[in-house]
Every structure is written in C-alpha cells, then in structure tokens.
Structure 1
Amino acid sequence: MESCFRIIQQIRLFVFVFVFVFCLCSYCQPNSFNNAGDYKSKSFTETEILKCFLEGRCGPNGVTSTNGFQIPPTLVSGLYAWYPLDGDINDKSGSAHHGYFPGGIWPATTGPSYSLSRSHLPNGTASFNGTDQYFGSDFTPLCNEDFAIALWIFPNNATNNQIIGFQQAIGYNPGPRLLLDAAGHFEFSAFFSFWGNSSVTVGTSSTVLTANVWTHITYVHNGATQQGTIWVNGVGVGVTSDFIPSGDLPYVTGCITGSSPLPWWTGTPLNIGYGFANPRFFTGRMDDIWFFKGRQLSASDISTLMSLP
C-alpha cells in the first residue's frame, strides 16, 4: 500500500514538473498577470504560470490573445471585430469595436438573450426572438474595398429571415445586408443609389439552408471587381452580380467613390439581427461573428474559422 502511495506521489510530481517546464519554454506564454500579488515572488510566479496553463490562457508563440480568447495568427490581419456572443456583445478582437443598442429612430431593444453554444457551453451563443432583439456595430463595408463577414447561424425560420443589415432609416433602401430569402437561400445584397440612378449588387447561395441547424455562412467581397463570393459551410456556393431594378434607368454601373453620396447606402449602425424587409427581425441564434476590413478570406481562412470552438 505504501509502495502504491509513493508511486502516485511520484507521478503527481512528474506531472507538475512537466507542466511547469512546458510553461517556461517559448511555446507557452501567459497572456498577462493581474495586478495583485508580488511579482518578485517565485512562488507567486510559479502559481500563476501553472494556473495560466490549466485554465487554457497560455498559447503558442504567434497567437494573439485578448482576455483569454485566442485568435489564430492567420486571422489577425484586417480583423475589425469579433463578437463571440458569450453572454455579451463585446468585441474580443482587441480593437474595442463593441456592439451597442442604436436607439433614436431604431426600435428599442435590450439586445439578444443567451443560451447554449454550439459546443453546449452555457450562455455561449446569442438568441434572437424575431420581435425586438438586435444590436448595432460600427462596421461599414464599402463596395470598392475588400471585406469579409463570417458567422454561425441557427435559424428558427429558414425563409424570409433577416440576419444583418444597414439602412439609413426604417423603410429606406437597404445597404449591405445578409438574409435568408423566400426560398431559403443565403443572400448578400446591397443597394446603389446616385442622384436617382440605381442598381443592386446581389447574389444567393445555390444551396438551401435548413431551419434549426447550425450553418456557417461567409461573404467575401473583392474591392477590385466590386463583387463577392458566398460561402456556406466552407464551400463557395454563389457569386454576386449587378441587377438593374425595373424602371430605374439610367442606372449605376460599377462602384461610385466619394462621400456624397456613398456608393452603397452605408454608415452606422450595421444592425445585427435586424434588416430591411418585413419581418425585419432575425429569429434564431447566432455565434462567432467576424468582421474583416481591407482583406479577403481564403478557403483556408474560412476552414480555420469553422474549426474554432
């Protein structure tokens, strides 16, 4: 019995030494220590390093981490905002582009509620009731710039469900927006308007989405061509093109630069969970919303996003 106890003690010591040595090497970095405690104390440092490792706050070199959230290095460039939606609408990219409640002309809201995430973590994903829950972001996509939007959705209704949208006011022509159309296709569209001339950039997925199933959707925009690619679950399933609304000749061709008026109806807020057409509110759940500005995402980048917990 005493021999078994001694063996167990030796195993525990070995595990502790291994963890400690691992965390002291160049492949393990505590993100930061808090301000409490004596930094000159060896025992305090050892304890904090061990805690960092056990709590999953230590990461390999080259990985950006904010408040314990690790961002793969391939996703750092051009990252405007990342909303994990783990109980709040804060931006965890490190840029402090936090979500907010627009107010003013927009419907009053207290934001989404929170429920089990895709990996069954409590309060790990945002739930939208389709009635009065949404939030705003200052992300402003432009037609002549590279950008990308990626997120997980769990739509309770796979048709006529607004996901994200911008418009200057309720009932005004929509700027960039993401939605599920009347047939269940994922759609990106944006309205051009320039002194009475207009057209729409629009594209839909060739696949039909299913209600009450987690689906990863991505829109990647090419500023040079002023068109984009639609991805569903990591597969490119559609491209956009310019559409001329009936009766709107003459029409806009290509992207108009300048600030007055802008090429798309743009500005802030970009409403998450609210869009142009009735019914205006999203019903379902969203998780891990990523906004990139000044870069396009590759198939590999999208695969990386989908692999994150």
Structure 2
Amino acid sequence: MVDVRDKLKISYESLEREQKEIFLDIAFLFIGMDVRLVIPMWKDAKYSPEVGIEILQLKSLIKIGEDNTIWMHDQLRDLGRSTVEQEDKEPGWRSRLWHGEDAFNVLVQQQVWHFRSFPSLESLILESCGELVWVDPSIVLLKNLILLNLRGCRSLEKLPEQLGSMESLVELLIDDTWVKELPILRGMKKLEVLSADSCTNLHEIPASVGSLVNLRILSLSHSGLKELPNSIGQLTSLVELILTGTDIRRLPDFIGDLHDLEVFMIDDTYVSGLPGNLGNLKKLKVLDALGQQNTK
C-alpha cells in the first residue's frame, strides 16, 4: 500500500529538473514569502519561474495566496528538506542549507571568513543568524551572487561598502537588522528588490538610490526612515514603494515621476499631504494612506 509520503515523492519525481529546483528552493527558503520577490532570482538563474510555479500549483505541491505569498504543506516541506539532507551527511556538501545557523556553523567549521572559496555562489542566505555581526568585504568576489538574505540578523549593524559594487545582485533583503546605512552605488545595475522592513536604525537612504534603474520593489515599512531623497524619482522601473509605519512627513514631488508604480503604501506615517502630480501615476492600483498621524 502506498502511503502519503510515497505519493508525494512520486509527484516530486515527476517534475522536470528545473521544476525540482524551484520546489526545493521553496521548501527550504521561500515558504511565506511574496512570490514577486523571488521570481527575479529564478529568472536571473535562467529558469522560467512562471511556468514552474504554474506546474507546481497544478500538481498541488504549492499554493499562491491572494496576497501573493507562497504556501506549502508541512509534509511537502519536510520531503524537500529530507531530499537535500540525503545528498550528503555533511551539511557543507549539500546544495542548500535552510537554517541560518547551519550556514554559519559551516563557515566556522571550515574557518572560512572570506568568500574566495565560493566563486560560483548565487544565493547567500543567513536569515535569523543571531551571531552574525559583520559581512566580510570579500563578498565582492562573489561575481555570480543573485540573492543576499540577511533578514533577522539582529546583531548586524553595518554592511560592507563593497556591496555597492556587486553587479549581479538582484535581491538584497536586510529586514529586521540594525543596519544604519545602505551602501548603494552605481555598480548595482541589476538590483530589483531592496527590502529593509523593521530596520529601526535606518533613518535615511542615500541619494545614490536613484542609480538603481532596474529596482522594482523598495520596501522600508516600519523602518526609522525620516525622509526620501529627490532622486527617488529616477526609479522609473519601480512597481512597489512601501513606506508603512515610517517617520516620513513629506513626500518629494518627484514621486509623480514613477510612471510604473502600482502599489504605494504610506499608511501609519506622518505625511500630511500628497504631491500634486500624483495623478501622473496612471498604473497605480493601490494607494494606502490609512491611519495618518497628526503629530509625532
């Protein structure tokens, strides 16, 4: 008699190689994440994520919620993780590590504090690694790095300046860290997603943010942000701008230049008025200004 786990295994084995990779990425890393944040990474890896996601849904291996979050049943998640665990008994030789502490321990065991040993690395995920206090400047040597996830690294206060020269980086996720500054340079040509939610020590973003011509999502909700630079108007590819719960009081008129903007969240802020040219945003679908604060 075939049990549930065997049936799930059969469904997994029926997938093409690329679809298996997407399935494993989700099982390890992306459950509960907005699928729109993940798609750019898969595309840069030369996958066809829209097709893969559709097939995974048709086989009932994942679901995409109304809020675009990825859902996977616990049994499928465990199947994916056990599949990778069987690759090698040593975590350092597996294709994926799902817990930030495991990745940190691998680095410690190998006494690797620079990144020269990983020239082909495409994704570096150290999420919720509470002991991480710094990122070595040699990270700039990771010429193929697409995703850098430092979410929940609450001891991390500074990012290396060299990060701004990483031309291949597509997603930078630093939510819920103590980072105070963003090292944004013109070299970050491919960056599409920058997320710094709940970075309460982050009070401003540099004017150089305007050089991120391919940026599609800028999320700064509940950060310590107090103002936006005028150069924000140069982000002509921006689709989502999330400023929920920040200390911003005034919006630059250049917001009206963001012609591709579809989602604009300024709820629970201190903004007292909207730019007069907001009507230029012909693609805008969501404007949330609920719960405006009158005083600080």
- Shorter-chain TM-score above 0.5: no
**Higher Cα Rg, which structure:** 1
Task: Give the structure, 1 or 2, with the largest relative contact order (CA under 8 Å, sep 6 or more).
Answer: 1
Q: Which has the higher strand share?
A: 1
With normalisation by structure 2, the TM-score equals: 0.28
